[in-house]
Amino acid sequence: MRHSAHAAALLAALAVLAPQSVQAQFAKSEDAIKYRQGAFTVMAAHFGRIGAMVNGRVPYDAKAAAENAAVVAAVSRLPLSAFGPGTDTGRDHRAKPEVWRDAAKFQAAGDRMAEAAARLPAAAGDPAALKTAFGAVAASCKGCHDDFRKD
């Protein structure tokens, strides 16, 4: 209980601070690439735990669902700021040139993902609602991967 209260407070602080503090704060393109890859890795780990519940691989657990949903919702706001101009080189990555060529379209797709992720926490308390919200986030991930990610 105390741990999850602390985690929730930390995530709330992160969600408030992140938009200002991460804007254009990268010394090198490589740092921006590592940052966004790290954010996607964290999101995938926690989103995958929700997926395991939604798909019946592990039993539904309301507390775990809420914690994982809070992480996905908070971290979903981070990677978009790390695709700025010039961050297409500096380290291996899978983002297509279209990310920078169609930057407005990419940002809109990223915003849709973050909006869908923001709806996960409210849905976490109910397995059917969670499944619906999970599906919306997964569709937003896939939409962006199809257009903007290699392979």
Examine residue 44 and tell whether it contacts ligand ASC (CB under 6 A): yes
Stretch that binds ligand ASC, among 47-55, 77-85, 94-102, 113-121 (CB under 6 A): 47-55
Q: Which one of 6, 10, 13, 48 is in contact with ligand ASC (CB under 6 A)? A: 48
Examine residue 142 and tell whether it contacts ligand ASC (CB under 6 A): yes
Examine residue 57 and tell whether it contacts ligand ASC (CB under 6 A): no
User: How many other C-beta atoms lie within 10 A of the C-beta of residue 5?
Assistant: 9
Q: Which one of 49, 51, 73, 77 is in contact with ligand ASC (CB under 6 A)? A: 51
Stretch that binds ligand ASC, among 15-23, 29-37, 113-121, 134-142 (CB under 6 A): 134-142
End-to-end CA, the chain: 42
Tokens of 129: 């609602």
Examine residue 138 and tell whether it contacts ligand ASC (CB under 6 A): yes
Tokens of 24: 């254009």
Examine residue 52 and tell whether it contacts ligand ASC (CB under 6 A): no
Rounded distance between C-alpha atoms, residue 137 and residue 133, angstroms: 6
Contacts of the segment 24-31: beta carbons below 8 A, 24+ positions apart: 24/81, 24/84, 26/82, 26/84, 26/87, 28/90, 29/86, 29/87, 29/88, 29/89, 29/90, 29/91, 30/90, 30/91
Stretch that binds ligand ASC, among 14-22, 45-53, 64-72, 105-113 (CB under 6 A): 45-53
**Interface with ligand ASC (CB under 6 A):** 44, 47-48, 51, 138, 141-142
